[in-house]
Amino acid sequence: MGDIDPAFIQSTEHRPKLSTFVQVDEIPIIDLSEASQENLISKIGNACEEWGFFQVINHGVPSDVSKRVEIAMKKFFEQSIEEKKKVKRDAVNAMGYHDAEHTKNIRDWKEVFDYLVENTTQVPSSHEPNDSGLRTLTNQWPLYPPHFRETMQEYAREVEKLSYKLLELISLSLGLASDKFHDCFKNQLSLLRLNHYPPCPFPDLALGVGRHTDAGALTVLAQDEIGGLQVKRKSDGDWIPVKPTPGAFIINVGDVVQVWSNDKYQSVEHRVVVNTQKERFSIPFFFYPSHHVMAKPAEELVNDKNPAKYKPYNIGKFYANRNRSDFNKRKVENIQIHHFKISD
């Protein structure tokens, strides 16, 4: 997982604070087969407002598709590092395999494989305001295991359908048309990430993923029975473990929905803790609009009593900044939506 940076060991910024691991309550579990559409919309809205997170069951993603993805993912990560690096990402194309080696510390104790819903897509060549150029992101597919590409693409389309359904319910809960944001996802930047967290011998020094919010619209997460995801509870700031529910997906509001909703629904910080004994796997789907979309509060939610809380920002430029910062681990502040906040 890479050499340990001695300077990092002196820092406590990313160390889990064990004293706050409390299980006082849990994020809501919502049955999407609920007969009453009105009740379902109300539950979704309440969960988005109170937690920013919820789990869904009876979601429509076939269990056999999920199982095939799980098997293929494990076979891919079981390969030698040399084999996996044949599809290694770089600073130009962010799709493919990468691990924590380039960070030179154990802050992010994991290895991942990223792929787009669309096999190729375009993003701005940089985050600079006056740079109008585009670059192409392209999926890299390994030769092993067999049918890896077909399996992953089938799964992507299933969770994409679920994401559209959830987006419609969230839109309705805000009093908007169900298809209010559909056009924002033409030529989308949505991607899936296969996460493998090996057992970690340094649990006091590392996290699987440090505290963060998700930059997209929604995240649809499949996690195994090991667990490890923790959500920062809005009411008191405590870190709440998300108990794995067999067959469920964990859903969270991203930065884009926070802006669209004009802060009614907030993108909540979360993190992943490591396990000293067992490896862990998870698959987040990041539902991300197209690079040309300008994110701004929905006009139906803005009025004299509730003015817009954000200046419009370009999704592609935002993505380019986050992507380059993540790859290079630049020692500068990563751009966040609060940079576009309008002062009161």
Q: How many CB atoms lie within 10 A of CB 243?
A: 13
- For residue 284, whether the previous peptide bond is cis, meaning omega lies within 30 degrees of 0, is no
Give percent of the chain with pLDDT exceeding 70.
85
pLDDT of residue 344: 63
Average pLDDT, the chain: 87
Banded model confidence at residue 135, pLDDT cuts 50, 70, 90: confident
In this predicted structure, the answer to whether residue 18 has a pLDDT above a threshold of 80 is no
- Nearest residue to 146 via CA among 96, 213, 243, 72: 72
Contacts for 335-343: CB closer than 8 Å, 24+ residues apart: 335/127, 336/213, 336/255, 337/255, 337/258, 337/259, 337/267, 337/310, 337/313, 340/259, 340/310, 340/311, 340/312, 340/313, 341/309, 341/310, 341/311, 342/307, 342/308, 342/309, 342/310, 342/311
In this predicted structure, the answer to whether residue 298 has a pLDDT above a threshold of 70 is yes
Banded model confidence at residue 92, pLDDT cuts 50, 70, 90: confident
Q: How many residues does the chain have?
A: 344
Q: How far apart are CA 155 and CA 159, in angstroms?
A: 6
Residue-wise DSSP of 10-28: T--TTS--GGGB--S----
pLDDT of residue 305: 95
- Chain-centroid distance, C-alpha 31: 22
Strands 270-272 and 209-212: antiparallel
The predicted model gives 111-129 an average pLDDT of 87
Phi, psi of 19 (to 5 degrees): -70, -20
First-to-last C-alpha distance (Å) of the chain: 45
Q: Write the pLDDT tens digit of every residue in 25-52.
A: 689 999 999 999 999 999 999 999 999 9
Sign of dihedral through CA atoms 103, 250, 118, 183? Answer: negative
Within 8 A by CB and 6+ apart from 3, the residues are 104, 105
Burial zone of 15 (CB within 10 Å; 0-12 exposed, 13-18 middle, 19+ buried): middle
Phi, psi of 289 (to 5 degrees): -65, 175
The predicted model gives 107-129 an average pLDDT of 85
Give percent of the chain with pLDDT exceeding 90.
69
- Nearest residue to 156 via CA among 61, 53, 225: 61
Banded model confidence at residue 324, pLDDT cuts 50, 70, 90: low
Q: How far apart are CA 177 and CA 170, in angstroms?
A: 10
Spell out the domains of the chain, with CATH numbers in brackets. 6-340 (2.60.120.330)
Of the candidate ranges 96-105, 117-126, 172-181, the one whose mean pLDDT is the lowest: 96-105
The token pair that represents 4 in the structure block: 């340990």
The predicted model gives 73-100 an average pLDDT of 92
- CB half-sphere exposure, 219, CA atoms < 13 A: 25
Q: Write the pLDDT tens digit of every residue in 190-229.
A: 999 999 999 888 776 666 678 899 999 999 999 999 988 9
Q: Between 187 and 330, whose confidence is greater?
A: 187
In this predicted structure, the answer to whether residue 7 has a pLDDT above a threshold of 60 is no
Distinct helix (H) and strand (E) counts, the chain: 7, 16
